[in-house]
Structure formats: structure tokens, C-alpha cells
Structure 1
Amino acid sequence: MRTETPWGPWDPPPLAEGVRLLAPLRTRWWIAGGYAVELAVGRAFRDHGDIDVLLLRRDQSEIQRILPDWEWWAADPPGTLRPWRPGETLPPGVHDIWCRPGPDEPWRLQFMLDDAEGDDWVFRRDSRVRLPLDRLGRVSGDGVPYLAPEVQLLYKSRALRPKDEQDFEAALPVLDDDGRAWLAETITLAQGADHPWAARLRTLLAR
């Protein structure tokens, strides 16, 4: 779905094409955002304005290696874009990267950088929330790695945009009790016990 931004249009490729572009990566990566929820649910249920890909910060140089001729721009600080030069290590405050094949092309992929300590993923909005990297993602039947829905929903719980509410409703049936409990606990820790999603999850767990 093509969308307009102050920095030019987004026109993401079909998910299968995006996955093909990412196949040469030698590090862990996960499809994130709305597509992660869609992969967990097993069906398409809404349009997507971009393709989000999660990568560990320590592996950031890998993405420039696999697409060396593309343009890379970093959100530094959030709300602005600047060129990300080859070989530059982005500082801890930079989490989002946009890329496109050339200056006259639409944006195609967005990468998010997350932190890790050893074998643990660390939630960038609250370092008390951690998860073993082996539990951070899942793999679809087609072999596509994607962010576990409870982790993706934790990120989405702050904004509560209509599409986030739609993703939450679609994902609830595929979350097991462990995923629901983890999501309720981490939302409560990061955002407070009165968050509507945490309350909904606690109600479901009590049944």
C-alpha cells in the first residue's frame, strides 16, 4: 500500500519479496510490525504501509552489506532523517532506519534496532523487560522469522492507534496463556496496571 510522508512515498514490496531481499543476512532478524501479527494469525486482515524488520543493534552493519547500492537514512533524532553512511555505527538513541534503492525511488524497508545483553533481548523502553533471544521470535510455515506476537503487541501497546487495536484483537485468539500472562505483566510494568490491554488480558486469564 503506497503512502505519502514528508520524506517521500512509501511503497513496500510484497512480503515475499522483502523476505527474499533479507535472505542473505548472516545474523538473526525478524519480520516485525503488523506483518508479524499477520504471520502469527496465519491470514491477512488489514493493509500495511511498510515492512518492518527487527535486527539487533550489534548486527546493524549486516543490512548495509546485503544491499550495498541502496540509500540508508537514520531517524536521528526521531522525527527527522539523516543519511546513514557506510561503516558508521549508529548510536544507542537511534532505533529506526529507512532504506530505498535510490533517491528517486520510494522507501521500501524499515529496520528497527533493538538491544541485547548476551543472549537476552532488552526492551528499549524499559530495560527491566527482558526475554531470551530464543523466545523473541517464531518461524512461519514458510520459514519466515517473525517477532512473537506478545512482543510486538508490547511495542504497540503505547500508541493504541486503530491499527494497533485491530492487531490486538486479531492476535488474542492465537496467544496462549503464557503469552497472555507475559504481555499483561510487561504492559503493567512498563505502562501501569490500568492499561486497557492489561486489564483485558487479566480478565481472560482469570476465566
Structure 2
Amino acid sequence: MAAADLGPWEPATVREVATYFARFPGPWWIAGGFAIELATGRTIRPHDDIDVGLLRSDHLGAHGALPGWELWAADPPGQLRPWRQGEPLPAHVHDVWCRPGAASPWRVQLMIDESDGPDWVSRRDPRLRRPVRELVRRSADGIPFLAPEVQLHHKARACRPKDVVDLHAALPVLGPAERAWLREAIAGTTPDHPWLVLLQ
């Protein structure tokens, strides 16, 4: 959701994000295209922004991870508004843009996910659930990232050119169980999706 009319982006690095969220009180993870790169261990393509996932049950801790920053909630269909510290965001708000100050470029986009007790619940299909402990993997240097099959399920809906690039990059690192989960997850809502052939 990087739109030029809302101000420029200068994405933080993965390591910068890890520093920002080192003391975050709940689980967090690198999401989006950077998650696929962490899963594959290599750079794949340029990125317009960097996504950081967290659970709605923990989202009020975001201000503490980014003290002094401006955090703006993305109210559908695309309006940004200031998000005040201590304000619970409504259920329809899933994205938050973050920057150090008004004159600074946007650095981090927060993606707020749902949960039910110990389980993550997909916003794309609430029938899809996974224990939060199985949702996140870690890179060799300990940086948490969203499991690639879960990230690809999210990307399958838009199926943009960059999402296809990410799919082909991630296929070699998906084991049989991960491929089966992704195949079933996509087929549950889009039984004729073009990715299903690639996941056989």
C-alpha cells in the first residue's frame, strides 16, 4: 500500500526492524516479500516498503516499539489518519504506516492479524487457523519471519507480478507439508487458481 500521494517511502532494513521490535511484548514477524527473502536466504527483488506482522491482541504495544514516531492507521478504502497511543484500532483496520516524524519518509508498515486464543486466524479465510507458534520461522541470525506458505496464501489473492516472482523463488524451500497446506488453503476459496498446478 505504498502510494506516492501519501508521501515517500524509504523502507527500514530487516535488521533495523529487528532492533525496533526487540522488546515488543508479543510475537512479531517480518512479512511480505522480505519474508520470502528470509525464507530463501537470498535477495529476490526490490521492495517499496517493509511489512511487520503482529497480532491484534498485542497491537497497542506498537507505539512502545517505535517511541516518538508518527503512526497512521489506514482506514479503508485507503484514508490515513493519526493513530493515538492507547487507542484500540477497530477490527476493519489492518494496516498502520509508521515514520519517525512528519518530514520523514515512511519506514515501516504494520500488518495486524487476528487470533483466537493460541491460534492465528487468516483474514483471507477465517476457516484457516494455525497455532501462533507454528506461524513464525526464524532466520539464521534469529529474525522472525512469516512462514512462506502462509505469506504466499496471502499473496495468492492479488497474484501481482511480484507475487508470482515470490512464489517461484519460494517453491524450492517449501516442503511437501507446506505445499499441501498452501494448495488446500488456496483451493478452499479459489479452486481454479493458476498457482494450484505449480503446487502439485
Shared fold (TM-score, shorter chain, > 0.5): yes
Contact kept, 8 Å, 2:14 with 2:30, in 1: the verdict is no
> 1:103-118 alignment to 2 at 5 Å?
103-118=102-117
Gaps of at least 5 residues in structure 2 are none
1:52-107 per-position Cα deviation (integer Å, ceiling 9, x unaligned)? 00000010111101222100100112311111111100011000000100000000
Gaps of at least 5 residues in structure 1 are 203-207
Equivalent residue, structure 2, for 1:201: 199
- The Cα of 1:41 is off from its aligned counterpart by 0.4
Contact kept, 8 Å, 1:99 with 1:110, in 2: the verdict is yes
TM-score by length of 1: 0.93
More moved, 13-22 vs 80-89? 13-22
Q: What is the letter of the counterpart of residue 122 of structure 2?
A: F
Contact kept, 8 Å, 1:10 with 1:108, in 2: the verdict is yes
Equivalent residue, structure 2, for 1:205: none
Q: Does 1:22 find its partner at 2:21?
A: yes
Tell me the secondary structure at the aligned position of residue 60 of structure 1.
Answer: helix
Alignment size in residue pairs: 199
- The Cα of 1:14 is off from its aligned counterpart by 2.1
> 1:141-152 alignment to 2 at 5 Å?
141-152=140-151
- Identity over aligned residues, as a percent? 55
TM-score by length of 2: 0.96
Contact kept, 8 Å, 1:121 with 1:130, in 2: the verdict is yes
Equivalent residue, structure 2, for 1:90: 89
